[in-house]
Structure 1
Amino acid sequence: MKQRVKRFWLLLLTGLCFFPGSVCSAIENSSELPVVKIVYARDIDDLPFYVGVEEGFFEQEGVKVELVFIKGEQNALAGVMKNDVQAANISVESLYKLADKEVPVKVVTWLGQAHEGTKCGIHVGVNTPYRTFSDLKGARIATSGNLMPKTMLTHAVHLGGLELKDLRPIYGGRPDNPMQHEAALRAGAVDGFIV
């Protein structure tokens, strides 16, 4: 159980792209710029890839990126596992499933939303009794109500041996400013936030 919880937090604190280990050795042994194929899905979240290729940012960092269109996360994952492509975006929901099945992928960057200097996960006050997932039973956890935080919250309580009905989620109740988070926690308005 501790290993699964540790892996869960590692995934939340890192990100949503993955590379197989074989890419690293290929990059180290090449005298030319290595080519890394990255899956794109014609989604707004892929805009940084287009800009990076167009502006030459990847070449400046010592790698040539080729964008490959593959539809569907399962197909993208199969391409990565076969090393036909070296990286792809993947949703938090799929990441949980992969972690539980111990699929050998590596998360290399976070493409989600967070305030600078903060980490994603369940935030509670320092002077509260909440130390583990199971401690959250009955807690008032505020969330923006978007799919990603709701999925993170659902999976977190699952790892703690609870169900979502064991919490008191407050959807649409998360302020945008981290200072407001602190004020709400100190005032006792909520017991925690998921970000």
Structure 2
Amino acid sequence: MKKYIGLLVLMAMVFVLGACSVNKGEDTAQTAGNLGMITLGLMPDVDSIPFIIAQEKGFFKEEGLTVNLKSFKSAVDRDSALQSGNLDGAISDMLAEAFAKNGGFDTVITSMSQGSYKMVVNKDKAVSSIQDLKGQDVAVSKNTIIEYVTDRILAKGGLTPEDINKVVIPQIPTRLEMLQNGKITAATLPDPMGSIAMKNGGKLLSSSDQLGVNPGVLLFTGKAVKAKEQEIKAMYRAYNKAIDYLNKEPMDSYIDLVIEKGGFPPSVKGALVLPSYTKATAASPREVEAVVQWLHSRNLINKAFTYEELADTRFVK
């Protein structure tokens, strides 16, 4: 009899625990299903590829998240969309964050990104070193990561920004076209546009990779980090899944998808060289400090912001 009663008690416990497990699973699914939407701004560069993969391979969906990806061709258009509230976050850079804070806009750096920026010379120009650029036209986008990397490259080669003629061309595709048509001597371009320029005969002078410089970041509005904390965490989980995918899959299996969804020209096929992607990590305090110093020394911002004023590291390790 005691054994019979004991068996009934055990069965009852199993039933209750099973029901709790089902309810817990239902609660988790319900929580995932209740996640709001995130709208992200992308640029035509390799920083954006993990987000495209996360979208197209269903990694966002696996996390119960809806993500609206919007593409921009210039940093000015992207920043305007972010500051006007049309985006929750964007692939951006440390300079854009400092400018936003200086202008009173509430945005924060949530992680670094992994872009690559190349200074490339037109194939027909007699330039083989940084010193040869003295007095030459070099295309940049003003007061952006492109100009910052350009100045760092010039300094490494023994030139000052005043030694060259900076030609301001905000739109990246237009910058690439003018370089290839010989309208300018050199241009600083993000990948994959830099790699395309090289594939078409352009000569690499230097790059952010060679300098060990990485000022690319992901920004979110202060409103988004407060109201969409769970969504942002889910986004980063999906992002990390995309990194795992990119690190194990051959490029041939996704290059056509990236070209179509990323707005890259078809010529990127066979030219694209991806960075060694790593999972989401906090931006480098040292790099942030260098960028702030560069901006402050040129009177482009009124205050030398601290890392803590510009970054929110709670979403990544």
TM-score with structure 2 length normalisation?
0.27
Greater gyration radius: 2
TM-score with structure 1 length normalisation?
0.42
**Greater percentage in helix:** 2
